[in-house]
Amino acid sequence: PIRAAFKANGVEFEDSIIPFPEWPATKATIPFGTIPLLEVHNGDTVTKINQSGPILRFVGRLGSAALYPIESPLECALIDQLVDGVEDAFAIFAPSFKENDADKKRAMREAGLPAFEAKISAIESFLAADSDFCVGGKLSIADLKLAFFQGLRDGNFDFVDPHLLDKYPRITRVMNATVAAFPGVFSK
């Protein structure tokens, strides 16, 4: 979603991927020791921003697209609610990402599926029945975050039906509109 936010706002950025062999040395130089990391250059000063949420909100404020409209605290709260809801849904499967044993991974995903579906059902019920957007009738960082579910539809979650989201028409509509607006960002 961060790359899409840069693109939607028309803000150029340098996308750097840390090669795996360089990660241990690089990790020590990063706040909180995790990625993503955004370096903001202002003259001779470089400010490092860590964690995907703060980076996404910061980038959402840049440019003209107003993906995170700080002039409307209520809209920002609704956007944050959806962004955090998507994070909560993904967090259910997070432990399974590190599991190498296929049988254990399957069991973990199957056990987490009811909680995952409860989260996405809550998101579905929040979304308007007649809008291509999550909040305020326009593109926001919430739409970009929700489109991250495209990985599930692409089959990137072993042992989870890639058609699971088909029964959630509001989520599907928003995802389709957002994914179509950013070809190659959310899909394989």
Q: How long is the chain? A: 188
In the prediction, which pLDDT does 179 show? 86
In the prediction, which pLDDT does 65 show? 78
Q: What is the rounded (10 degree) CA torsion for 176, 110, 167, 141?
A: -30
- Per-residue pLDDT of 1-60, as tens digits, reads 999 999 888 889 999 889 999 999 999 988 898 999 999 999 999 999 999 999 999 999
Contacts of 147 (CB under 8 A, 6+ apart): 1, 4, 174, 175, 178, 179, 182, 186
In the prediction, which pLDDT does 180 show? 85
In the prediction, which pLDDT does 188 show? 52
In the prediction, which pLDDT does 185 show? 76
In the prediction, which pLDDT does 31 show? 85
In the prediction, which pLDDT does 64 show? 77
In the prediction, which pLDDT does 187 show? 63
- Per-residue pLDDT of 133-183, as tens digits, reads 999 899 999 999 999 888 899 998 999 999 999 999 999 999 999 888 887
Task: Name the maximum alpha-carbon separation found in the chain.
Answer: 53
Per-residue DSSP letter, 155: T
In the prediction, which pLDDT does 127 show? 94
Residue of higher predicted confidence among 107 and 149: 107
In the prediction, which pLDDT does 80 show? 96
In the prediction, which pLDDT does 144 show? 93
C-beta of residue 61 within 8 angstroms of C-beta of residue 70: yes
C-beta of residue 120 within 8 angstroms of C-beta of residue 165: yes
State how far the Cα of 169 lies from the Cα of 186, in Å rounded to an integer.
19
In the prediction, which pLDDT does 167 show? 95
User: Has residue 105 got a pLDDT over 90?
Assistant: yes
